[in-house]
Chains A and B, each alone.
Chain A
């Protein structure tokens, strides 16, 4: 056994203990510096990070503005939609509860189990949607039995709906679920949390007015994201209500009259340019689009032969036919090619030269000796062949352009087509061919290459009615914020504010001829006289779709029948409204289009009188 040297052991021990103590002190100093570095030097940084952890900002979606017609009918509203939700952590026996629930309402139990099975344990305090769009009955049944289902509850959110359905679909448009594409160009922060955005029509164009200003709430959350309390809240500002110029009654009437046809009816209030009616039949139900249309329903709409998604008023381009005759007459009178007194003999056809091909008048037997008034009232083609030849295609083009054909009317909805007024230059550049004199002739009766939209025709009628005064048509009237502030929508400036004639008497000449279309005993629309003796000025049009013009319309297949058109205004001497009617394959303007225009006018004046009577009585 070795001998222990206690003194040496002691001194080694003390030396080494001191070494370790010194080391530990050094480490402790390091720790204190580290804590100092975190708590004092970087305090600001970490206090910010702690706040970021703690506070979350949640958007509050504003209520979307409503859309009303000019007569105060709701066209786009928000209705509560009810969903059944569950907070998993508050339910004791989920399976039994689901089973009991399925006895109360239609419930896809398999799907529900799957949804609930896929949830994470730590987020079981978050509500899960079990069923959307509950019926009122389901809501009622659940509410009565609510006490039996702790943890289950019904939540309501606002969903867009369109009470007038298809009547206003082309004008109001619809909203749909927002996607990332919709957001470009919008203030992203204002759309956080927004689910629906305007896709077409007024809903899309006035998106910013309708949407409103999003609010937010600052909430304190824990690490799981559970909201503990609201720290700060800023309420959203609801979107403004948009009031349209469209009259729901006139619109309904237009659709009723178009029942069974494909076509368009446009009714313009002259003073304001308000589109009282703008119907394009067939139409579609915009409510289908709100919650996402099924692909089969969408396919059905796309493939439907009537093309319901297509807004004929703005986008339908048709050969205008004889309805352009009053416009051409104005041009001819102005260029002094024609005078009111001159005559043309109509044998039922017209030839450029003796051996040339015959250009037929719609009346096989011919109209005999016709003057301007007669030619418009009876719609003599031969007279207008002659007129067209006299003023030439350039003169024709000029007079039609001055009535707004060939260019957009500037209406306040997007997607408008500009139609086509043919010219030598146009044909050269578009078809690479030179102009033939025969094409000038058929242009004189609104056929050939010429195309116009129903809204252009209505505007042309309005210009005739107001003796050259141009007011761009409009769908929008004003918008009103929730605090009552009204603001008119900016009016589109007219391309040319006034069509000036060399001699204003020419307006009256043509107007009188248009009155004779209806009120003379030789006019083409004698059956379209208005109630209460209100004078109606108009012009029928029957535009050829197929080359074969002869023969009974009954023998032709529907798609080859002529388009029926009518333009007009009333009261003729003190015009208030203009109308344009187009019925695709409707046969003839006098038989199909004119009666529709007449009924529109009658409805308008009947209602106006009623309103006047009421105001009179109340005085």
Chain B
């Protein structure tokens, strides 16, 4: 290891992770300029958010994993209180109360839970011998179910499922017995019809639309039809930057946020898609590398669950845009226009970075 990397290590900066994040963010800004019809104002605002996110990432990287472990119940409780607060004081937009206005910033407490839940669970599980005991699993389930239910109540099905998923990942990696996993899967299979009844009608509509979007081309199917047209018309090389007709003529809805991947596909084609995947894989592989080289169970569980959640976000967003999943409203990490998601993602990568840069070098890898 040379002196430079030693310097970065002392600053708790993982050069590989930061530079791969930087590549994805750059692609995101270039794409956003096109998706916002050439609005430099939008790009600038996003740039500011990226800076805030980057600052958050680098700051969190300074906090040692030990400190994170100690802080975890506190972070979880703050997140829970905010979630309850949003239930009572939240701003309603589009029929769902998700936003909390704190005067200076307006953000979605559900996003905080994306970090708080894996952090809390990893802290609990890692404290005891693994695989976790039944009592422990029940405790974890309780800690998991409360925020998931609150987020679902907002209603925000997509985020609640993802938060739930991030918690399950921690339990899975922690070594919950296969038998327990089988029981849970069987139970959820039986509960599926119940869930179908209990979800909102517009959510049911979205799921139905997925299977037959042409049924309702101007209503629920509009998003997915226009998105597929955008992607398909891109072809191998795409129509070129700023030349996507589907996005620039405004046929594609939510093109700067949830459906920005369709804009990318239209303008850069299959070749571009593979390049974006490669950029993401840089971030992901670095994250998995961190998890594999983490030095204790807590660090392993936390870094692995955070990076898997990150991948899950990408997969859910892309599958939704290409028409393999119902439209659930999940942004594309580091690229979609929007502040809270950007900062949360950066913060979780900050934790990953902290885990990697706080290793004690009793053994070189």
Contact = CB atoms under 8 A, between A and B. Distances in A.
Given A5-B129, A222-B249, A43 B315 contact: no
Contacts of B236: 39-40, 43
B129 A31 contact: no
Contact of A30 (B246, B270, B324): B324
Contact of B175 (A9, A35, A47, A53): A9
Interface string B215-231: 00000000000101111
A49 B229 contact: yes
Nearest to A36: B270
A13 B236 CA distance: 40
B322 interface: yes
Interface string A221-262: 111100010000000000000000000000000000000000
B208 interface: no
B175 A222 contact: no
Nearest to A19: B172
Contact of B249 (A14, A20, A32, A228): A228
B308 A24 contact: yes
A21 B304 CA distance: 10
A2 interface: yes
Interface in A540-555: none
Given A12-B130, A17-B288, A45-B232, A31 B175 contact: no
B300 interface: yes
A426 interface: no
A220 interface: yes
A27 B233 contact: no
Given A36-B270, A39-B270, A222-B249, A17 B304 contact: yes
B138 interface: no
A31 B233 contact: no
Nearest to A42: B232
Contact of B315 (A5, A14, A28, A223): A28
B229 A9 contact: no
Nearest to A222: B249
B207 interface: no
Contact of A43 (B175, B232, B245, B250): B232
B229 A50 contact: yes
Interface string B274-313: 1001000000000010011000010011001000100100
A54 interface: yes
A46 B129 contact: no
A352 interface: no
Contacts of A17: 173, 288, 291-292, 304
A302 interface: no
B173 A13 contact: yes
A31 B235 contact: no
A222 B308 CA distance: 39
B65 interface: no
B235 A40 contact: yes
Contacts of A20: 169, 172-173, 308
B324 A31 contact: yes
Contacts of A39: 231-232, 234-236, 265, 269-270, 273
A13 B270 contact: no
B129 A3 contact: yes
Contact of B231 (A9, A16, A38): A38
Contact of B229 (A3, A34, A46, A228): A46
A12 B131 contact: yes
A4 interface: yes
Interface in B34-48: none
B233 A47 contact: yes
Given A2-B129, A31-B315, A35-B273, A46 B172 contact: no
Nearest to B291: A17
Nearest to A24: B311
B17 to A, nearest CB: 18
B249 A221 contact: yes
Given A5-B129, A24-B308, A35-B273, A16 B250 contact: no
Interface string B239-252: 00000011001110
A522 B234 CA distance: 99
B250 A35 contact: no
B179 interface: no
B270 A16 contact: no
B250 to A, nearest CB: 4
Contact of A53 (B129, B246, B324): B246
Interface string A185-214: 000000000000000000000000000000
B86 interface: no
A165 to B, nearest CB: 49
B135 interface: no
A35 B315 CA distance: 13
Contacts of A228: 249
Interface centre among B131, B228, B234, B308, by most chain A C-beta atoms within 10 angstroms, is B234
A539 B235 CA distance: 87
Nearest to B253: A223
A4 B324 contact: no
B277 A4 contact: no
Contacts of A6: 297
A54 B245 contact: yes
Interface in B129-173: 129-131, 169, 172-173
Given A14-B292, A35-B322, A50-B229, A28 B277 contact: yes
B128 interface: yes
Given A27-B315, A34-B324, A46 B228 contact: yes
Given A9-B297, A20-B172, A46 B251 contact: no
Contacts of B265: 35, 38-39
B256 interface: no
B238 to A, nearest CB: 9
A31 B321 CA distance: 10
A220 B249 contact: yes
A223 B217 CA distance: 13
Interface in B301-335: 301, 304, 308, 311, 315, 318-319, 322-324
Nearest to A54: B245
B245 A50 contact: yes
A38 B232 contact: yes
B288 A21 contact: yes
A43 B233 contact: yes
A8 B228 CA distance: 47
A13 B231 contact: no
A9 B128 CA distance: 11
Given A3-B129, A4-B130, A39-B270, A223 B249 contact: yes
Given A16-B175, A34-B322, A39-B269, A224 B315 contact: no
A14 B174 CA distance: 10
Nearest to B234: A39
Contacts of A36: 270
A428 to B, nearest CB: 68
Contacts of A10: 300
Contacts of A34: 319, 322-324
Interface of A: 2-6, 8-10, 12-14, 16-17, 20-21, 24, 27-28, 30-32, 34-36, 38-40, 42-43, 45-47, 49-50, 53-54, 220-224, 228
17 contacts: A5-B129, A9-B130, A13-B304, A17-B292, A20-B173, A21-B288, A28-B277, A31-B318, A34-B319, A38-B228, A39-B265, A39-B269, A46-B231, A49-B229, A49-B232, A50-B246, A54-B245
Given A9-B175, A50-B230, 8 more contacts: A5-B130, A12-B130, A39-B232, A43-B235, A46-B229, A46-B232, A50-B245, A222-B249
Interface of B: 128-131, 169, 172-175, 226, 228-236, 245-246, 249-251, 265, 269-270, 273-274, 277, 288, 291-292, 297, 300-301, 304, 308, 311, 315, 318-319, 322-324
Shortest 10 CB-CB distances between A and B: which pairs? A46-B232, A50-B233, A222-B249, A12-B175, A223-B250, A38-B232, A2-B129, A223-B251, A46-B233, A47-B233
